[in-house]
Amino acid sequence: MSVILAIDTSTDRTSVAIVRDGKPLVELNHDDPLAHGEILPKLVKEALLAENKIDCVAIGMGPGPFTGLRVGIAFGQSFALGRGIPWIGVSSLDAIAVNVGEEDFIVAIDARRKELFWARYFEGKRISEPAVNVHQIVEELGVHIVRRPPTALAIAELATTQNLREPSYIRRPDAYPLPTGINFRAAAMMDAVALYGLEKEIYSSEDPWSLAQFKEELAAKDRYYIVAESEGKVVGYAGVMPAGDVTDILTMTVDSHYRRKGIAREFLKRLIDWSRNKKVEAIMLEVRVNNLEAIPLYEGNGFRTISQRPDYYGPGKDALVMRKELRS
Amino acid sequence: MSEPLVLGIETSCDETAVGIVKGRKLLANVISSSVEEHARFGGVVPEIASRAHLEAMQQVISAALIEAKVSLQDIDAFGVTAGPGLIGALLVGTSAASGLALALDKPLFGVNHLSSHIAVDSLDEDRILEPAIGLLVSGGHSSILKVSNLATNVEVLGATIDDAAGEAFDKIARLLELDFPGGPAIDRLAQSGNPDAITFPRGLTHAHDLQDHRYDFSFSGLKTAVSRYLKETPGAVRADVAASFQEAVVDVLLTKAISAAQAEGFESLIIAGGVAANSRLRTQAEQRCQEAKIRLRTPPKALCTDNGAMVAALTSLMVQAGETPTGVGFSADSSSGLERLLWR
Ligand SMILES: [Zn+2]
C-alpha cells in the first residue's frame, strides 16, 4: 500500500485526496449538491498532477443521497479498472467519525426530505448500524450530533482497515414511523410513470389504467390531478373532471404503506375545493360497495349514496354512486 | 486517425450497454437490461435503473473487452451517452466513462443518444456514408431526423407530439389482450389479419395539420379509434384490428419519412429504433422506398434497441472527422435535443 486516490461524494461536497504512505499529498473539495458528475473528474484530474502513479482507489460508499453517491462509486471503480488496480469501499459515516475526539456521539449525513443517515459511536467505535430517520428521532437520543462532510483524507485512512463491496443505500424498513412530511402538489406529465406504477400495484386484479391513459389524463386541460409525495416518491394521487353541472372524481389512490395518515382526506378536501371554484352543483364519485375504509370518509365529508351500479368494477363488483351538494 | 478503436457506454434508460468498434467495424456489443425489475411497475423506475447500472457496469465493460479481444490499454477513445435520458442513469455512465478516460489518459466524447441510434448504421463497412433521412421509432422515440452528416450535422425535422410509436403498440396490445411488449405480439397477430379491413385514422396527415406538423406524429387519436372500434364492434376480428392498426402506424411513419427524403433531396432512408424490427414496417418500407427510388437502410435488429455499439459507432465517426473531444468534467443533460450532437 503506497499511493491511494481517495474520493467521496456522499454529501453535497465532492472530496478528492491523494495520500502516499499515510501522508496527504493533495486534498481538493467542492461544495455543490448537483454537480458531482461534472466536478469529480475535474478534481481528480487536478489531483493527479501532484502524483499520477496510483496504487489503489478508496471510495466513500455512503450512505448518502443516491445520485451523487453513485457518481463517486461508478467513477472510482472504473478508474481502478482502467489502471488495473484494486478499489476499496469505505463507510462515509465512519470517515466522518475519524476526526471526532469525543467519547459518545452521533454522526449524521443529510438524507434530504428532513431525514438523516446516521450511526452512533462510542470510544471511537461504531455501536449502531447506519440507519435513516427523521431529524427529530435522532435528536431525541440526546447525543451530540456531528454533521459535516467526510474528508477524502479520512476515506484514505480507513482504506487500510475496511473493504466494503456494496454501496450503503439503507432502505427504510417498514416498521419505522412515517415522516410527517407529506408534500401535496399538482400532478405533471413527468409523474405519469410513477402514477402508473402505483396504479398497477394497487389495482392489479381489476384492470388498472395504462401508462398511456395516465399520459392522456395528465395532458387533458379540463382535469385536475394532484399527487402526494414522501421523500420525493409519489405515494398517492387523485383526479377530478367536470361533467356537466357536476364534477366527477376519477380516481383516488394511496400507496398501501401510506394509508390511514390523512392523505385521502387531504385529497378529498382539495378536490372539493377545486370543484367549488368551478361553481358546479355537486361533486360525485363511485366507490366499491365493500370499501369500508373509503365510504365512512366520504360520508364524513358530506357525500350521500344516491344509487348503486351493479358490476361497475367487473362481474360481481358493484359500485355505490355518491354525491355531495356544493350549492346550498 | 483512420480506424480508431473506440469503447462506447450507454446508460440513458434501462440498458447498461457497452460496445467496442474499430473504425466502422463492430467488435463487441454487450447489454445488461434491468427491464425485468421494472416489469412489476409497468414502466422504467429511474432509481431502480440507476442502481442496476452501477451493479452491472464493471462486468459489462469487462465482458465487452473479452468479446472484442482487446484490452483497455488498446482503446483510442471513449464515448458515452450524455443525453437525453434519465439523469441518474446517465450519470452512472458518464462517471464510469470519465473514470476510464482519466485513468488511461485517453480522449472522451459525450454524445447524443438520438443521433447514435442512427449512427449505428455506419457499422456496415460496405456502406458509403451519405446524407439520409433518419426515421427513429421505438418505445421512447418517434422522430424524423435530417442526417446531413452522421458525425457533425443532424437535425430534428419532426417528432411525436404525444406517444411514441412503441407506446401505441403496447397500448393496443393491451386492448387486444396480448402480451407485453406489444410490438412483437401485434406483429404476429397481424400476419393473419387484413390490413385494409378497417380504416383507422392517420394522425397529423390532413392538409391543415401539415402546416405546423409536416413531419410530426400523433398516435393518441389512433389509440382512441381502436379502443372505440373494439367497444362498438362485438365479435371484432382481432387479427384484422391488429393488422389495420399496424397499417395505420406504418403508413404514417413511411409517408412522412419518404416525403422528408424527397423534400430534402436525400436518396437514403435509415430506419432505426426498436419498432424498426416490425415486419410490416420493413416490407412496406422496402416496397415504398423502391417506388420512390430511395435507398433503404435498416440496421440489424440487435443494434436497433438501445446499445453501446451505437455510441461507439458515433464516437468513432467523430474521431475520424477530427472533432475535438469533450474531455472529462461535463454535465449530462436529461432533456438535450440534437443541437448537442457532441458535448463541448
Ligand atoms: Zn433509445
Give pLDDT tens digits for A125-178: 998 888 888 888 899 889 999 999 999 999 999 999 999 998 998 854 322 233
Q: Give the rounded percent of residues in chain B with a pLDDT score beyond 70.
A: 97
Give me the mean pLDDT over the B304-332 stretch.
96
Q: For position A162, what pLDDT does the model report?
A: 94
Cell numbers 387484413 correspond to what residue?
B194
Cβ neighbours of B41 in A, within 8 Å = 193, 196-197, 200-201
Q: Determine the distance in angstroms separating the CA of A289 from the nearest CA of chain B, rounded to an integer.
A: 26
The three cell numbers of residue B198 are 378497417
Residue scoring higher pLDDT (B274 or B68):
B68
CB contact under 8 A, A45 and B102: yes
Question: Looking at the predicted structure, is the pLDDT value of residue A297 above 50?
Answer: yes
* Contact criterion met (CB below 8 Å) for A271 and A298: no
Same CATH topology for B5-124+304-320 and B132-300: the answer is: yes
Q: pLDDT averaged over chain A? A: 89
pLDDT value at residue A43: 98
Largest distance between two CA atoms of chain B: 67
Task: Please give the distance, rounded to the nearest whole angstrom, from the Cα atom of residue A1 to the centre of ligand 1.
Answer: 43
Between B111 and A244, where is the model more confident?
Answer: B111
Instruction: Assess contact for A176 and A24: CB atoms under 8 A.
Output: no
| Of A309, A321, A319, A312, the residue nearest A207 (C-alpha) | A312
Whole-number Cα distances in Å, A120 to A64, A101, A117, A304: 16, 14, 11, 54
Binned at pLDDT 50, 70 and 90, residue B39 comes out as low
Mind listing the pLDDT tens digit for each residue in B219-265?
989 999 999 999 999 889 999 999 999 999 999 999 999 999 999 99
pLDDT given at position A310: 87
Count Cβ atoms within 10 A of the Cβ of residue A237 and give its class: 0-12 exposed, 13-18 middle, 19 or more buried: buried
Query: Are the C-beta atoms of residues B69 and B109 closer than 8 Å to each other?
Result: no
CATH architecture classification, B5-124+304-320: 2-Layer Sandwich (3.30)
Domains of chain A in sequence order: 3-158 (3.30.420.40), 183-325 (3.40.630.30)
Q: What residue type is A242 in one-letter code?
A: P
Ranked by mean pLDDT, the top range of A110-119, A190-199, B42-51 is A190-199
Rounded to two decimals, the pTM is 0.76
| Superfamily of domain B132-300 in the CATH hierarchy | ATPase, nucleotide binding domain (3.30.420.40)
Write out chain B residues lying below 8 Å of A74, CB-based.
53-54, 57, 91-93, 95-96, 99
Q: Is residue A188 less than 8 Å (CB to CB) from chain B?
A: no
For B114-172, how does the pLDDT look when each residue is reduced to its tens digit (9 = 90+)?
A: 999 999 999 998 888 999 999 999 888 899 999 999 999 999 999 999 888 988 998 89
CA distance B217 to A154: 55
The answer to whether A132 faces chain B, any CB pair under 8 Å, is no
Q: What per-residue confidence (pLDDT) applies to B41?
A: 55
Tell me how far the alpha carbon of residue B263 lies from the centroid of ligand 1, in angstroms. 26
Cβ contact A274:A240 at 8 Å: yes
CB nearest to A196's CB, from B42, B95, B97: B42
Model pLDDT for residues A237-280, shown as the tens digit of each residue: 999 999 989 999 999 999 988 887 778 888 898 899 889 888 88
Residue type, B128: I
User: pLDDT (tens digit, 9 = 90+) per residue, B178-215?
Assistant: 876 788 899 999 999 999 999 999 999 888 888 889 99
Distances (CA, A) of B129 to B118, B123, B151, B215, B308: 12, 10, 11, 24, 20
pLDDT at B268 over 60: yes
| 8-state DSSP, B237 | -
SS3 letters across A225-266 = EEEEEECCEEEEEEEEEEECCEEEEEEEEECHHHCCCCHHHH
DSSP state, residue B283: H
How far apart are the CA of A193 and the nearest CA of chain B, in angstroms? 6
Strands B295-297 and B153-159: unpaired
**A114 shares contact with chain B (CB less than 8 Å):** no
> Which of the residue ranges A76-85, A194-203, B69-78 would you say has the lowest mean pLDDT?
A194-203
- Chain B residues with CB-CB distance to A79 below 8 A: 99-100, 102-103
> Residue B42: pLDDT above 60?
no
Query: In this structure, what DSSP letter does residue B13 have?
Result: S
Residues A76, B99 contacting (CB under 8 angstroms): yes
Which of A39, A75, A191, A231 would you mutate first to test chain B, the one with the most B CBs within 10 A? A75
For A63, A218, A234, B101, B196, the CA distances from A190, given in Å and listed in that order, are 27, 9, 11, 33, 37
Say how many Å lie between the first and final Cα of chain A, rounded: 81
Name the more confident of B218 and A266. Answer: B218
pLDDT at B43 over 60: no
What does the domain layout of chain B look like in residue ranges? 5-124+304-320, 132-300
How far apart are alpha carbons B105 and A54 in whole angstroms?
13
What's the confidence (pLDDT) of residue B75?
A: 98
Pairing of strands A3-8, A56-60: parallel
pLDDT for A179: 38
Query: Confidence band (pLDDT; 50, 70, 90) for B337?
Result: confident
Alpha carbon separation from B76 to B97, B152, B325 (Å, rounded): 13, 20, 12
Ligand 1 centroid–CA B90 distance in Å is 12
Helices (H), A278-319: 294-300
Bridge partners for B49 per DSSP: none
